[in-house]
A and B are shown apart, each in its own frame.
Chain A
Amino acid sequence: MKTSDMTKMTYRDAIRLGITEEMRLDRDVIFLGEDIGVYGGAFGVSKGLLEEFGEERILDTPISEGAIVGTAVGAATTGLRPVCEIMFMDFITLGLDALVNQGAKMRYMFGGQCRVPMVLRLPAGSGTGAAAQHSQSLEAWLCHVPGLKVVTPSTPAQAKGLIKAAIRDNNPVCFIEHKMLYDTVGLVPLDDEYTLEIGKTIVERPGKDVTIVAYGTTLAKAIEAAEFLDEEGIRVEILNPLTLYPMDMKPIIESVIKTGCLIVAHEAVKTGGVGGEIVARVVESEAFDYLTAPIIRLGGLDVPIPFNQELEAAAVPQRNDFVHGVYRLLNRE
């Protein structure tokens, strides 16, 4: 794509642009959530949408996450394509029955009778100093539910491409946004048919010595580490599984076959995290025979996110964790 067809914008604006384009293209797309109207959303993602689309399509809801998700499921099965904002991903706990027991299963348990085209936008992650109930990364829970799709963009372009694909998908898609990425800037395609296919892992940065799989803000830290290691002649290959579930493992397995070394990383707590699943699938695959060192899992500590800034930063993987991890794998420490 030519850069002339792209423009610089924030991750926040890219999500909004994606939603706006889809709402212009399809009148059945509606948007519901808490404070998304006049207020513009807790993180400003829905700013201006009420003015363009009106109260009929931008629906400010009561503070009832169960009703938001359940209403979306009911609307989706009867012909609308709802997009929901759950103000903080932490609050998905209040809507899980509608998502897990209803939305995710209806198609299967009804023998394929229905489609549930809906998107749940879930602002996640730490770094805002909002402590234990406003900072979690709960994606692993969602990746345990067949019927759901779980995607997470790490750049503005990915945000636009994935939100559009999520809205067009005929299944419930959990769209995880990292709050610390909202103000990050990148080039975004302006084409209103630009989408990113759900279910594809991409190579963010080619290399040959060590494979790193990461997403969200952790991906940015991995890239920083890779740039640093580049100066020492170490070529790190970084993969970004844009779709966490069902995950496209092929590029990861191919990369591990090439490098023989693997680091998986995320902010979510290490125990029971998505990283463990990636590792399990790698060791189940032909890549097992190519491993030259034990795999490293970088994840959040098994603690609730603490309030204090230093403690908060210490609870999740940082750039230096990647640098030391790579050294360890290459016996340089």
Chain B
Amino acid sequence: MIELSEELLLRMYYKMNQARYFEEKLDDLVAKGQVHGTVHLAIGQEASGVMACLALEEGDLVSLSHRGHAQAIGFGLDVNLMMAECLGKYTGYCKGKGGSMHIADLENGNLGANGVVGGGFNLSCGAALTQKYHQTGKVVLCFAGDGATNEGSFHESLNLASVWKLPVVFFIENNQYGMSNPIENHMNIENISDRSEAYNMPGLTIDGNDFLDVYNTVTKALRYARAGKGPVLIEAKTYRYSGHSKSDKQVYRDKREVQEWRKKDPVLKMKEYLRENRIFTEKQILKMEEEASLSIEQAVEFAKKSPQPQLNTILEDVYA
């Protein structure tokens, strides 16, 4: 069991709430027509995205999936700049050219969210190769969804990472659906982590809604990869309450199924843990929630007040 300091627990709970509020707010802005394009929400999956990133050490890198807001918040991205990017503003991480699907912060090791399902696996191998070559001692945490593990890039990457013993942890958020397709229709195995066996690397399936399970498992996996032992595959079983994207009417699933998963809500589960173990007072818990909520309100305000990109930026940054 890994010791968790109060300071860390506080950060964990704060970021879990921040991720939840961020996406609820984004959903609201989309509904009001204030955010255009599409967004992929991970409401219900916060423990996996946030906790996996909180297990990282300074200097480690991440590659995010298309459903990457919680991951980005866990990694420490500034919610102001994230929200500004979602609104297409010049102050956003990508100067308004990427949007929700391409939030990146290369300078700090975030290789970017990826609009192509499975697009990040190979990139993560490359980033891990750089770490190995430069002997930085850093690890790459690569996020993807269950559907992405049916892409060829998943298999090519796991094979390569294993053969070259690359310092990368593949973290699969299994939210039970590849867009509308339930997992039993698109793979004939119980656990995605079983796929690790084909590449001779450790594979673990965990409760993605349990913040401790996620944090502890990723911490151990990172330690393994950092020691030069090679890659690890983790599957975190979880669930998204929202549809795949904004156009999804969710005709493929029963509302009762969503209700069942809501009983296992990761944010509530962490709150219960904090209460049961009397780590924080009710007042402290409430304060963290309020602060997280306030940070998102401020992010929206920042984003709304921010300038649009000038039209003459359209030709900038095609080439270095």
A residues lining the B interface (CB < 8 Å): 30, 56, 59, 61-62, 64, 66-67, 69-80, 82, 97-98, 101-102, 106-117, 146-147, 149, 170-171
CB distance from B29 to the nearest CB of A (A): 21
Do A71 and B163 have beta carbons less than 8 Å apart? Answer: no
Do B122 and A113 have beta carbons less than 8 Å apart? Answer: no
Classify the secondary structure of A's interface with B.
mixed
> Once bound together, how far apart are the Cα atoms of A107 and B320, in whole Å?
8
Of all chain A residues, the one with the shortest Cβ separation from B162 is A62
Report if B183 contacts A (CB, 8 A): no
Do A111 and B153 have beta carbons less than 8 Å apart? Answer: no
Of all chain A residues, the one with the shortest Cβ separation from B115 is A101
> Once bound together, how far apart are the Cα atoms of A77 and B125, in whole Å?
12
Do A77 and B106 have beta carbons less than 8 Å apart? Answer: yes
CB distance from B64 to the nearest CB of A (A): 12
Give the contact stretch, choosing among B12-20, B88-96, B244-252.
Answer: B88-96
Do B123 and A102 have beta carbons less than 8 Å apart? Answer: yes
Do B126 and A74 have beta carbons less than 8 Å apart? Answer: yes
- The interface residues of chain A lying within 8 Å CB-to-CB of B111 are 74, 77-78
Report if B112 contacts A (CB, 8 A): yes
Residue contacts A-B, CB under 8 angstroms, 13 given: A59-B164, A66-B152, A69-B122, A71-B126, A71-B160, A74-B124, A78-B130, A102-B123, A111-B93, A112-B316, A112-B317, A115-B320, A116-B320
Q: Which of A80, A97, A102 gathers most chain B CB within 10 Å? A: A102
CB distance from A83 to the nearest CB of B (A): 13
Q: Which of A70, A79, A102, A106 gathers most chain B CB within 10 Å? A: A70
- The interface residues of chain B lying within 8 Å CB-to-CB of A30 are 133
Do A66 and B153 have beta carbons less than 8 Å apart? Answer: yes
Of all chain B residues, the one with the shortest Cβ separation from A95 is B122
Report if B157 contacts A (CB, 8 A): yes
> Which of A61, A77, A109, A171 makes the CB contact (< 8 A) with B319?
A171
> Once bound together, how far apart are the Cα atoms of A135 and B151, in whole Å?
28
Do A101 and B98 have beta carbons less than 8 Å apart? Answer: no
Of all chain A residues, the one with the shortest Cβ separation from B109 is A78
Do B125 and A67 have beta carbons less than 8 Å apart? Answer: yes
Do B130 and A113 have beta carbons less than 8 Å apart? Answer: no
- The interface residues of chain A lying within 8 Å CB-to-CB of B159 are 62, 64, 67
Interface residues of B in 126-140 (CB under 8 A from A): 126-131, 133-134
Report if B276 contacts A (CB, 8 A): no
Of all chain A residues, the one with the shortest Cβ separation from B92 is A111
Do A97 and B95 have beta carbons less than 8 Å apart? Answer: no
CB distance from A75 to the nearest CB of B (A): 4
CB distance from A171 to the nearest CB of B (A): 5
CB distance from A143 to the nearest CB of B (A): 14
Do A75 and B127 have beta carbons less than 8 Å apart? Answer: yes
**Known interface pairs A64-B160, A70-B122, A113-B106; A80-B153 also in contact (CB < 8 Å):** no
